[in-house]
Chain A
Amino acid sequence: MKKTGFFNIINYSLITLFSLFCALPLALLFMVSLTDEKSIIKNGYQLLPEQFSLEAYKMIFTGGHDIFNSYLVTIFVTVAGTLIAVMITAMAAYTLANKNVSHRNTLSLFFFFTMVFNGGIVPWYIICVKLGLRNNILALIIPSLLFNPFNLFLVRNYMNGIPDSLRESALIDGAGDIRIAFQIYLPLSTPVLAAVSLFYGLAYWNNWWNAIMLVEKKNLYPLQYFLLKLKSELTMLTDLQGSSAVLSTITMPTESLKMATAIITIGPIILLYPYLQRYFVKGLMIGSIKG
């Protein structure tokens, strides 16, 4: 009995320790965003600041036009992209799960092949340029993110579990494949579609690859790219020269403002987290158990 108690104490402490390792860096970011500027200059970044201030958030909400523009870009791209991506995926998954389609395995292979072998980023970039996907909002929606074979297989595996007799009886009642897909299979696949929407949505929300490759116009910067630019300008100024003398000569967003900007971009993720986590774990399980 005594031994179990000892084991438990160690066990709980180790897990708590790792939880802190996961949570503290984000807590730090959050606390710095709430720190008074003078406090930062005096004490550096702190987990428990000497003086709190909401100034950074006030500044963002009153004068941060650039970031709001980026917010709008990201929201639009995420919503539009996810909707189209889920649609494309679900429709294709129905066909791969349709036992009447005798070449469905060849089709699966067709999608799978590009997952293991493709030309990489250089041809991808050339193709995007040729399609005119540069410096427009479509460049943020279409390349890379609009369809992912992994998600396709996830949905297909789930749909394979729907009894075939449903489709057959609908066929007898005169419904076509499109109607069967949209009115029977899609509604029955809600759990996996929710998980897949989450995967797509998150990929869009956190994406800056498309922006760094294909977008130069500032008004098209999605949030993450906006943040990246903001940071690289600041590290260049302060850290590469390794002195604080430069700080005073150049006007730039204040320290807390920078962190506050980072925090408001993860705001939606924090708010949606309970939902995100549930469907994420579910999606992962569907993939590994049924796959």
Chain B
Amino acid sequence: MEMKTNLKKLPNSKSGGKGSFIKDIIRNPLSYLLILPAVIYTLIFGYMTLPYMVIAFQKFNFRTGIFNSAWVGFKNFEFFFKSASAATVTWNTVRLNTLFIFFVTVFSVSLAILLNEIKNKWFVKITQSTFLFPHFISWVIASYIIYTLFSYNYGIVNRILGFFSIEPISWYMTPKPWTPILVGMRVWQATGMSVVIYLAAIVGIDGSLYEAAKIDGANRWHQIKHITLPLVMPTVAILTLLSIGKIMYGDFGMFWAIIGDNGILYPTVDVIDTYVFRALRLSGDPSQAMAVGLFQATIGFILVYTTNKIVKKSFSEGALF
């Protein structure tokens, strides 16, 4: 959302017309010199990655490189789609991301509305700082927190179960509960940041609307229901659509830090990104990894494109491009 109108707001061209790139460079040599490092960096780490996508159709070998590796057609894709993992990782990625988006949005919109109703500035400041703090903590630290909660021997959860004379659970060997655990951690980590955004949208609502409603006898609940909520909805819709565009991408940092290569938990928490990582770094098959990555990028791009189109059509200001 932040980068939305970057490209649109500027005037499309100078009144004098554009002229060629070379002319522009000759006219502004120093400006082009200033932008050169960023351009080179983007060429290397952005554009140079594109040709390498063909290795999805090869048996890529680091020594022979992209030009001399053997072509294998769709074999790498076949391998992936015929394996049981394809359905699992794709479904897990979409399912977990959907749950993340849903719960983070519900929590952050509700909290933003509630915070907006509080007049005590000091209280708002303290609580908002507390909400935001987890955002600055890496997933590795978060995984330590999960460990203190769910460790078999010393974890708080098992101790609490023990208090009610329930047998301790070996959490790190039980796949099922990890969906709610991960959703909880996501809410913990991401809500604060969304609250900041939604609160900004709410604060921006015209105050006279509330004044008018009060005169008509609306209480605070009415005001929330009939003014705040409808007016914050466009922001909710935009942010949700933009997140749906990224639904094919699992948060590698989160999943790897918390789950790592603990295969027992894969049925519920293995996502495309961790699968690709393992194919690349653990089984050392770049072509195999690239095939899955290409599958992900293709669907991902279609989703980004479609959701952006919807955003553009319905809310002209929120579009990404």
Chain A residues at the B interface, C-beta cutoff of 8 Å: 3-4, 7-8, 11-12, 14-16, 18-19, 21-23, 25-26, 28-29, 32, 40-41, 43-47, 88-89, 91-92, 94-96, 98-127, 129, 131, 143-144, 146-147, 149-150, 152-154, 156-157, 160, 176-178, 181, 202, 205-206, 208-209, 212-213, 224-225, 227-228, 231-232, 235, 238-240, 242, 244, 247, 255, 258-259, 262, 265-266, 269, 273-274, 276-277, 280-281, 284-285, 287-289, 291
CB pair B304–A122 under 8 Å, yes or no, is: no
Interface of B is mostly: helix
Chain B residues at the A interface, C-beta cutoff of 8 Å: 1-7, 10, 12-14, 16-19, 21, 24, 27-28, 30-35, 37-39, 41-42, 44-53, 55, 62, 107, 111, 114-115, 117-118, 123, 126-127, 129-134, 136-138, 140-141, 143-145, 147-149, 151-156, 158-159, 170-173, 188, 191-193, 196-197, 200, 219-221, 252-253, 256-257, 260, 262, 264, 273, 276-277, 280-281, 286, 289-290, 293-294, 296-297, 301, 304, 320-321
What is the minimal beta-carbon distance from B23 to any residue of chain A, in angstroms? Answer: 9
Could you jot down 18 A-B contacts, CB within 8 Å?
Answer: A22-B130, A25-B134, A25-B149, A45-B151, A92-B35, A105-B7, A109-B7, A111-B38, A119-B50, A120-B49, A122-B276, A127-B48, A127-B49, A209-B253, A242-B152, A269-B137, A289-B200, A291-B1
Indicate the member of B47, B138, B256, B277 with the most A CB atoms within 10 Å: B138
What is the minimal beta-carbon distance from B105 to any residue of chain A, in angstroms? Answer: 15
CB pair A288–B123 under 8 Å, yes or no, is: no
> What residues of chain A lie closer than 8 Å to B32, measured between beta carbons?
95, 101
> What residues of chain B lie closer than 8 Å to A22, measured between beta carbons?
130-131, 133-134, 188, 191-192
Q: Which of B3, B138, B280 contacts A287 (CB 8 A)?
A: B3
CB pair B24–A103 under 8 Å, yes or no, is: yes
CB pair B140–A224 under 8 Å, yes or no, is: yes
CB pair A110–B133 under 8 Å, yes or no, is: no
CB pair A96–B35 under 8 Å, yes or no, is: yes
Contact A29/B141 with A100-B27, A123-B48 known, Cβ cut-off 8 Å: yes
> What residues of chain B lie closer than 8 Å to A115, measured between beta carbons?
3
CB pair A100–B154 under 8 Å, yes or no, is: no
